[in-house]
Amino acid sequence: DESVVRRDRFSGGPARSFLSSLDDDERIFAADLAVDRAHVVMLAEQDIVDRETAGEILSALADVEAAGHGALHEGEDVHEAIESAVIDRVGAEGGKMHTARSRNDEVATCIRYRLREDLLALIETVVEAREQLLAVAREHTETVMPGYTHLQPAQPTTVAHWIASYEQALQRDTARLLDAYDRVNQNPLGAAAFAGTPFDVDRERTATLLGFDSVLENSMDASATRDFLVETTGAVATLATTLSGLAEDVIVMASKGHVELADDYSSTSSIMPQKKNPDTLELVRGRTGDATAGLNGLLTNLKGQPRAYNRDLQRAGRHAWDAIDSVTESVAVATGAVATADWPAETLAAAAGDGFSTATGVADLLAMAGLPFRTAHELVAEAAGDIEGGDAPDYETIDAVARDRLGESLSAYVDREDVEATLEPAESVAMRDSAGGPAPEAVDAQLSAAEETLAAD
Ligand code: ARG
């Protein structure tokens, strides 16, 4: 074992703490104990270590667990420190624990073991968030609000349609995290340093004991790869980007008075007494940077590392942990802010007509009556151009343009009342009832489908 040699050779010196990951390794302390136990049980079952020694090692591990990570001292990482603590208790025979393994397969196993828990916790948080969002959406299928493209008023939609759009994205985020989980949940143990071992280890057995679905076959790949970390952090960064979009939308809405955040999700100014700021959502947006940084940091760490093990890997995990911690907290905060917010229906409905955002609906109505859509589009655009201040042109204005351009009245195609109704934001929403559209019944269908998917997740 090269680590024993190293302990004799390098017992101190200026690089000692530089080499050490003991503090960082607190995160995998419990995982390492689980991995040690599974390994020792397997060694005993395979008659590689006698049962009595295995029993002593296992009770020493229980002791080490009770003393906690803080009681560890000797060793440049948690693996050495736990081994030293076992040897302190059992004597030299305790050193049999490290038979047929290396810290290389050990640490890879620990990271996977711990990451599994973190991934499950994150997935659970996302699923709860989706549940909350769908419940709020149900209440707002008729709450008309302005929809934007390029941050310019575009077409009226509803609060429910907007919320459901993020829930859909979170469905895919959930699927990506679950997919990553499958490849995290594989056993590298038994690969040893990278080159296997002469001992008759049972890798399937440690996989079972540790709850892994399968064994990573090639021992060089098993010890070396961190692609499972990249995949997970990629899914986490994608989720963070979803949340950032949601946060940004709410920040903009709050700036226009289109949403009133609950006090719990707002912050005040230390100088301006009147201020109520959406700081929670700004921090959600900010934490997306942590996740993106985590993914970049990880890829930068891994890029160009040769097979099979290099100490750079000791710095890989932290990027994934930073990303996952940052995002896990953001999920609940972002959703909580939306779920507890007040949506001022009247203000929203008034704003929904701003900037003549019902124009497309009028053009659609004319096209449904047989006018080529492009002609309808030009008529409405010209009528809008005749109006000062971006307000909606009334029937008369559009009709005047039609007489001028087509040589006939609009009434040859549509009823006046229908045009006037279409100019109303609520009607404009109601007519867009295509699958996935914002009309209340179309959103109801989306929400029902989303609820089913949620129940299956
Ligand atoms: N602490 C190291 C890590 O996290 C594991 C040690 C493997 N060290 C070695 N020299 N082979 O990657």
- pLDDT recorded at residue 416: 94
CA dist 371 to 155, 367, 380, Å? 21, 5, 12
* Domain 2-99 belongs in CATH node 1.10.275.10: yes
Which ligand 1 atom sits closest to the C-alpha of 104?
Answer: 7
Q: What letter represents residue 57's amino acid?
A: I
Give the phi and the psi of residue 254 in degrees, each rounded to 5: -65, -35
CATH of 109-193+217-346, one of 3.40.50.300, 2.60.40.10, 1.10.3470.10, 1.20.200.10: 1.20.200.10
* Ligand 1 centre distance from Cα of residue 196 (Å): 17
The residue whose CA is least distant from atom 2 of ligand 1 is: 314
Q: Which of 35, 104, 106, 115 to mutate to test the pocket of ligand 1 (most atoms within 8 A of CB)?
A: 104
CA torsion 365-368-373-378 (nearest 10°) is -30
Q: pTM of the prediction?
A: 0.93
Of 11, 73, 150, 434, the active-site residue reads 150
Residue 315 Cα to ligand 1 middle (Å) = 10
Q: Which ligand 1 atom lies nearest to the CA of residue 106?
A: 5
Residues 328-337: what's their mean pLDDT?
96
Mutating to test ligand 1, I would choose from 2, 312, 313 the residue with most ligand atoms within 8 A of its C-beta, which is 313
CA-closest residue to ligand 1 atom 10: 311
Q: Is the pLDDT of residue 393 over 90?
A: no
Asked if residue 390 lies in contact with residue 400, where contact means CB atoms within 8 angstroms, the answer is no
**Mean pLDDT score across all residues of the chain:** 94
Collapsing DSSP states into helix, strand and coil, what is residue 338?
helix
Residue 430 three-state SS: helix
User: Span 40-48, mean pLDDT?
Assistant: 98
In the prediction, which pLDDT does 11 show?
59
Instruction: Name the DSSP letter for residue 260.
Output: B
| Radius of gyration over every alpha carbon of the chain, rounded to an integer in angstroms | 31
pLDDT at 317 over 50: yes
Has residue 197 got a pLDDT over 50? yes
* Cβ density class 200-215: b for 16+ within 10 Å, e for less: ebbbebbbebbebeeb
Q: State how far Cα 105 lies from the chain centre.
A: 28
Please tell me the distance from the alpha carbon of residue 232 to that of residue 114, in angstroms, as a whole number. Answer: 13
For the chain, give every domain's residue range.
2-99, 109-193+217-346, 351-448
ipTM for the assembly: 0.96
pLDDT digits over 81-101, tens only? 999 999 999 999 999 999 999
Burial class (CB in 10 A: 0-12, 13-18, 19+), 401: buried
Chain position carrying tokens 């057995």: 205
Identity of the amino acid at 246: L
140 among known catalytic residues: no
9 pLDDT higher than 60: no
| CA 296 – CA 306 distance, rounded (Å) | 19
pLDDT number for residue 257: 96
Question: What is the per-residue pLDDT across 245-297, written as a single tens digit (0 to 9) for each?
Answer: 999 999 999 999 999 999 999 988 787 878 789 999 999 999 999 999 999 99
Q: Which of 17, 59, 214, 269 is catalytic?
A: 269
**CA separation for the pair 67, 305 (Å, rounded):** 37
150 is catalytic: yes
